[in-house]
């Protein structure tokens, strides 16, 4: 994350911050406060510290995952005025993004938690921000699905089409001996039956109604070893429709909206 932050700052300050350099004395010292303008789930304690490591007195008054009320000070930063001004926008962009994701994730988790259903993220993240965004999901109480294409196997509809069918796809990938669980995206019971026969470890039930999911879960769990098969649902599940899905007996629900549709939290930096 430190490396990424350095890249973000270089993008915003390729040479010098000419406005700040032209208006602020080089040795000026200020104290700046980070304040939310709405209730949020906070995510970013270590990120703030990464921006202001040397020569700054940085105090964090909130913990990751803490529910923060509007206008409560999250952190204070005392140090070189110019650097605080120059770093302000990049820092806020990250905090607003991450707190927005954490806050939205928490809303989903509150509904799913009583049913012991995990809320998972997806790979629908902004390029360059995946580690940050997946971190924010965990802060909000969610769980990370595969980090990338190298750390997990999920055979989707286009893989099935290109490989010549479910059985072919599974046979081919088993020959690679990646030593990873094999998850299969399915749309109907016939695909589930084929996947079971081919020997998969988990199913992603895609774009199914809660009633259809219940029938699929019942079938899978009734099989020998079926209770050990991981089952997740996905596909357009919203906060409004979530209550019906958490009662279907699945293990998890993956929600792309956690990262691709989270609204940025309203946070600002104020100089004392």
Please confirm, yes or no, whether 89 is among the known catalytic residues: yes
Q: Quickly list DSSP for 53-118.
A: -SS-EEEE---TT-EE-TT---EEEEEEHHHHHHHHHHHHHHHHHHHHHHHHHHHHHHHHGGGTPE
Name the DSSP letter for residue 228: G
Where do the DSSP E strands lie in 179-266? Answer: 182-186, 202-206, 230-234, 252-254
Q: Which of 64, 88, 183, 206 is catalytic?
A: 206
Cβ neighbours of 118 (radius 10 Å): 17
CB 265 within 8 A of CB 42: no
Q: Which of 156, 193, 214, 221 is catalytic?
A: 156
Q: Which of 49, 89, 214, 221 is catalytic?
A: 89
Q: Which of 49, 124, 214, 221 is catalytic?
A: 124
Please confirm, yes or no, whether 176 is among the known catalytic residues: no
Please confirm, yes or no, whether 39 is among the known catalytic residues: no
Please confirm, yes or no, whether 64 is among the known catalytic residues: no
Provide φ and ψ at 26, rounded to 5°.
-60, -30
Please confirm, yes or no, whether 121 is among the known catalytic residues: no
Catalytic residues: 89, 124, 156, 185, 206
């Amino acid at each position: 994350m430190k490396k990424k932050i350095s890249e973000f700052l270089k993008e915003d300050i390729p040479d010098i911050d000419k406005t700040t350099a032209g208006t602020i004395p080089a040795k000026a010292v200020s104290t700046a406060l980070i304040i939310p303008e709405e209730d949020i789930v906070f995510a970013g304690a270590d990120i703030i510290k990464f921006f202001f490591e040397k020569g700054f007195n940085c105090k964090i008054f909130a913990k990751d995952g803490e529910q923060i009320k509007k206008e409560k000070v999250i952190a204070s930063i005392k140090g070189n005025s110019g650097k605080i001004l120059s770093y302000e926008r990049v820092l806020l962009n990250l905090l607003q993004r991450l707190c927005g994701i954490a806050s939205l994730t928490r809303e989903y988790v509150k509904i799913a938690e009583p049913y012991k259903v995990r809320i998972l993220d997806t790979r629908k993240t902004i390029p360059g921000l995946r580690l940050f965004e997946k971190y924010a999901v965990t802060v909000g109480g969610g769980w990370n699905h595969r980090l990338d294409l190298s750390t997990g196997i999920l055979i989707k509809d286009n893989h099935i089409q290109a490989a010549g069918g479910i059985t072919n796809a599974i046979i081919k990938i088993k020959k690679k001996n990646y030593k990873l669980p094999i998850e299969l995206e399915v749309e109907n019971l016939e695909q589930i039956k084929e996947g079971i026969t081919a020997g998969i470890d988990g199913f992603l039930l895609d774009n199914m109604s809660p009633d259809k999911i219940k029938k699929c879960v019942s079938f899978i769990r009734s099989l020998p070893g079926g209770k050990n098969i991981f089952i997740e649902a996905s596909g357009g599940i919203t906060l409004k429709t979530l209550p019906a899905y958490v009662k279907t007996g699945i293990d998890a629900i993956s929600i792309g909206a956690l990262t691709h549709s989270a609204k940025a939290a309203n946070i600002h930096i104020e100089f004392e």
